[in-house]
Chains A and B, each alone.
Chain A
Amino acid sequence: MNVKLTCSRHEIRSTGRVVTDGSRCVQCGMCSYNCPSGIDVRHHSWLGRPVDDSRCLACGQCVARCPRGALTFTRLALFNEGGS
């Protein structure tokens, strides 16, 4: 998956974050295995929490690799005015 970024990771992370869906997750660990920052994304999913780790680059690897669609990048309601 090639994604061309036209904004910084700070900009992306201020508009959204990766959220987990426990009912789809089978704790296979593909997300943690492929996280370039070494975040244990799976653990966030186990706890049913969004990936609120400051090391998150919002690169989308975990979302793209999850074989069960358990991860989604969700926009935060805070700063998304005018966002597309």
Chain B
Amino acid sequence: MAHDVSTYVIVGTGAAGISAAQAIRQRDPAALITLIGDDPHGFYSRPGLAYYLTGELAERQLFLRQAGPFVMLTGRVTGLDVAGRRVITADGREHHYDRLLLATGSAAGRLPTAGAELKGVVKLDNLEDAREIVRRAGRGRTAVVVGGGITALEIVEALAARGVSTNYLLRSDRYWPNVLDETESRLVEQRLRNAGVRIHYRTQLACIFGKHGRVAAVETDRGERIKCHLVAGAIGVEPRLELARLAGLKIERAIATDEYLQTSAPDVYAAGDAVQESDDITHKPTLDTLWSKALRQGRIAGANMAGDREQYRRRVPFNVTRLAGLTTTIIGRVNAGPDDDLVSIARGDSETWRQLPEVMAVQWHSRLDRTRVLVARNTIIGAVVMGDQTLSRPLQQLIANRVDVTSIAERLRRAGDALSDAIIGRWLEWSHGTAE
């Protein structure tokens, strides 16, 4: 009698896809696991591209030790037949599945500007994009960057590090206005200026001009013409939903799943950027594009595909990144309002960061470091820690576990060292309490 070997197909070779494949393999050593993705380089650290771009990291370092064994195929999945349990790739091949995971991720939006099709107009979505930026960035060259969030800054910093004369166009009067507060924005902008970046406030890209099919200059809405060799856009990413749409899966902001990460179709699961979350205050579908979320969802979806029944519960959105060389941790709810530089969510971003109810904000800063803590009633609901990271771990745990901070409320009102001592004190007290 032949053994039944389960066949798993995973669409997407990013963090969610690999993490799911690994979870399946741990539970089902005999399973046939096939990952299909349209990135010819397979799995590598996408957040690491920022450091590859600045020259701090060699390209080969982006690739991880293979976790396998899985079958990795490069190709575009163009069809999904839920009833027939098969996916169809662009080359016409059909792949049968017992369980399917959609980990299709998100893709950068194209600049809506005239001239965006010219050579030298770049984005930063994947390794190929990063290679193109490296090819086109050299000393004596000039670049124009538009957009917001982490990715725009990654490009700006990389170009400056490579000796490119860099112009950063901001639609509003400061950087990332709906996550950072004004002081934080100014800290970042000052450091960019120190690195030689020219920031153009309240300026939009009106048109990109080309010569022989290549970028030659841009014109801003203020009528300024900037000669350049490179135009980079990071105006946000959109979840990739074509396949889910095609198969008629339930979609609101992105793919809707139940608490086991199963979609509206039987045996079809989803994880990562293409999955919507539910905001725990507004209860509305919301988006996160965080690496840690993709890994966790991938692991849980993979486990459930292999027969477990593990519920996915959303965690407080959290990211650590480097903004103009300053290590910055963003946790929970930190700000509100729109950001004109982004048309959609950025990478490494969470919409929840912008869902701020009525709070008291306490902040303190020294020349380089700044910490901002958002206190609502008796809990801390958000924080931005720039530079010195001593408080980031305690704050992350106090926020994630909704620890009551009534006992330090009075001290929290007094900014400065007293605040920092109060937070660490409360955190130690709480962690000893949970350890007992």
Could you list which residues of chain A lie within 8 angstroms of chain B, going by C-beta atoms? 22-24, 26-30, 32-33, 40, 42-43, 46, 67-70
Q: Which residues of B contact A67 (CB under 8 A)?
A: 51, 320-322, 327
Decide if B389 touches A30 in the complex (CB within 8 Å): no
Decide if A42 touches B51 in the complex (CB within 8 Å): no
Q: Which residues of A contact B50 (CB under 8 A)?
A: 28
Q: Which residues of B contact A24 (CB under 8 A)?
A: 292, 320
Nearest residue (CB) in A for B65 is A43
**1/0 contact string of B154-196 vs chain A (CB within 8 Å):** 0000000000000000000000000000000000000000000
Q: Which residues of A contact B56 (CB under 8 A)?
A: 30
Known: A26-B47, A28-B45, A42-B64. A33 touches B57 (CB 8 A): yes
- Whether B48 sits at the interface, judged by CB under 8 Å, is yes
Q: Which residues of A contact B45 (CB under 8 A)?
A: 26-29
Decide if A28 touches B62 in the complex (CB within 8 Å): yes
Could you list which residues of chain B lie within 8 angstroms of chain A, going by C-beta atoms? 45-48, 50-51, 56-58, 61-62, 64-65, 67, 291-292, 295, 318, 320-322, 327, 329, 389, 392
Nearest residue (CB) in B for A33 is B61
B204 to chain A, nearest CB (A): 31
Q: Which residues of A contact B47 (CB under 8 A)?
A: 26-28
Chain A interface main SS type: loop
Decide if A29 touches B329 in the complex (CB within 8 Å): no
Decide if A30 touches B392 in the complex (CB within 8 Å): no
CA gap between A27 and B65 in the complex, in Å: 11
A49 to chain B, nearest CB (A): 13
A to B CB contacts below 8 Å, 23 in the list: A23-B292, A23-B318, A26-B46, A26-B47, A26-B48, A27-B47, A27-B64, A28-B48, A29-B48, A29-B57, A30-B57, A30-B61, A32-B61, A33-B57, A33-B61, A40-B65, A43-B65, A46-B67, A67-B51, A67-B320, A67-B327, A68-B320, A68-B327
Q: Which residues of A contact B295 (CB under 8 A)?
A: 22
B60 to chain A, nearest CB (A): 9
Q: Which residues of B contact A42 (CB under 8 A)?
A: 64
Chain B interface main SS type: mixed
Q: Which one, A22, A23, A46, A69, contacts B64 given CB within 8 A?
A: A46
Nearest residue (CB) in B for A29 is B61
CA gap between A43 and B22 in the complex, in Å: 14
Decide if B291 touches A26 in the complex (CB within 8 Å): yes
Decide if A69 touches B65 in the complex (CB within 8 Å): no
Beyond A28-B50, A69-B329, 7 extra complex contacts between A and B, CB < 8 Å: A26-B291, A27-B47, A27-B48, A29-B57, A30-B56, A33-B57, A68-B320
CA gap between A32 and B57 in the complex, in Å: 10
Shortest 9 CB-CB contacts between residues of A and residues of B: A28-B48, A26-B47, A29-B61, A68-B320, A27-B45, A33-B61, A69-B389, A28-B45, A26-B291
Most buried by A among B61, B321, B322: B61
Decide if B392 touches A69 in the complex (CB within 8 Å): yes
CA gap between A43 and B66 in the complex, in Å: 10
Q: Which residues of B contact A30 (CB under 8 A)?
A: 48, 51, 56-57, 61
Q: Which residues of A contact B329 (CB under 8 A)?
A: 69
CA gap between A5 and B216 in the complex, in Å: 54
Decide if B51 touches A28 in the complex (CB within 8 Å): yes
CA gap between A68 and B322 in the complex, in Å: 7
Q: Which residues of A contact B318 (CB under 8 A)?
A: 23
Decide if B327 touches A69 in the complex (CB within 8 Å): yes
Nearest residue (CB) in B for A28 is B48
Q: Which residues of A contact B320 (CB under 8 A)?
A: 24, 67-70
Nearest residue (CB) in B for A40 is B65
CA gap between A15 and B423 in the complex, in Å: 27
Known: A23-B318, A68-B327. A28 touches B64 (CB 8 A): no
B415 to chain A, nearest CB (A): 23
CA gap between A14 and B46 in the complex, in Å: 36
Nearest residue (CB) in A for B58 is A33
CA gap between A32 and B60 in the complex, in Å: 11
CA gap between A23 and B65 in the complex, in Å: 19
Decide if B321 touches A68 in the complex (CB within 8 Å): yes
Nearest residue (CB) in A for B325 is A67
